[in-house]
Structure 1
């Protein structure tokens, strides 16, 4: 399904992502839309619990949008930890919050079970989007739609 499609575009992802960090590209999209954001921090979610984020819009603590950017060229426990961070965002999100996951890197290709866990979060509407480098235009459109609907733009 989605994961097969995401990985069928892998060579384009590599070419597009040379020399650029996944988080930097995400931040650039957000700022080019004219939105403010915080990168790499913690947000407060359900029950007053906190979780780490890689992206928060419009800012820290109680943002409208949170994201986890997990680009790995390694394998093993780092990828499982990344999945747990995305799951934690999904678990702690408030009803009005949006959660986006950004995944990229060759290490994910060997971690099909971890990719499936992320895909299941999206399929069951625990997160609002999954993106790789080749899908950042789709993220831009999704972000713009959320921002307009919630009067951030």
Structure 2
């Protein structure tokens, strides 16, 4: 009997499992991870109630428990990836107050800040276990991070508010706050007003500059075509073409992205020789991938970041171009 397209379609519809579940794995994960972290947190809560919130107890907690760090991240509502970002930023900027708070002089390898690679979980776990000052620095971050001047200027308020002693103290209001932030994380991240491109859009609107977005006519059928973020003033007569790339994490695809952008730049020069190609390239994801960054910026006539002074420079250039 021949298997028809409808037979295959019905197989997927009628036999759909909806959620994949490996029962053996689920049981082991519940016992070895979920329940373990829950037990660690309950024991920590009991210790805080009996002895008070002492930094040395928290240091001992993360040094001597395999999932101690994970438990505190749950308590604070901090994503593991975000903790890595903060550690990387601290190693890059070497802000004096932040460095002192984290005891960086006792654990940082003092490598060239221009060639810093982000540490993985294994490296961080080993440092916690073997370097008391690194463990103390992390607890200081959880206790006092929200009051650090550099972090206050750098982290979004949504993330900064998690670095507060009330979170790590099992304060009821703080835990409710963590639950709300966890629930709203997707909405917060996806909000259009919180998108870096909104900064460009606001500048263009404030200067009454018209713009389009989408495919450029002469590039539409090219293998290297890209949907352009901003085309000023329109697709038919582009004077400025703007692409935006803000990366808060690194990925293996950044090299391919840089190559594609360079190919697009060549097509723009060929088909729209009078158009300027500008790039907004920002975020720690690009900072720690220097070789990919060098290839990426080569594609553009001018490059900007989303820092306030850079946005002002972008605005000033637009005013000069369109002053007539």
Same fold flag (TM > 0.5): yes
**1:25 and 2:235 are equivalent in the alignment:** no
CA change 1:12–1:79 in 2 (3 A) is: farther
Q: SS at 2:199's partner residue?
A: helix
**1:71 and 2:246 are equivalent in the alignment:** yes
Distance 2:306 2:152 in 1: 9
**1:129 aligned partner:** 302
Q: How many residues align?
A: 135
Contact 1:71 1:102 in 2 (8 A): yes
**1:91 and 2:266 are equivalent in the alignment:** yes
Contact 2:211 2:234 in 1 (8 A): yes
**1:37 and 2:215 are equivalent in the alignment:** no
Deviation per CA, 1:2-57, whole angstroms, max 9, x where unpaired? xxxxx97xx79845898732111011111111001123x111347x8553211111
More relative contact order, 1 or 2 (CA 8 Å, 6+ apart): 1
Distance 1:62 1:16 in 2: 38
CA change 1:133–1:84 in 2 (3 A) is: same
More helix by share: 2
CA change 1:136–1:129 in 2 (3 A) is: same
Distance 1:17 1:105 in 2: 17
Larger mean Cα displacement after TM superposition, 12-21 or 74-83? 12-21
Structure 1 residue 116: deviation in Å? 1.1
Contact 1:72 1:104 in 2 (8 A): yes
Distance 1:130 1:142 in 2: 12
CA change 1:14–1:36 in 2 (3 A) is: farther
CA change 1:73–1:35 in 2 (3 A) is: same
Structure 1 residue 59: deviation in Å? 1.8
Contact 2:259 2:295 in 1 (8 A): no
Distance 1:32 1:131 in 2: 18
Relative to the length of structure 1, the TM-score reads 0.71
**1:113 and 2:291 are equivalent in the alignment:** yes
More strand by share: 1
Relative to the length of structure 2, the TM-score reads 0.36
Contact 1:64 1:96 in 2 (8 A): yes
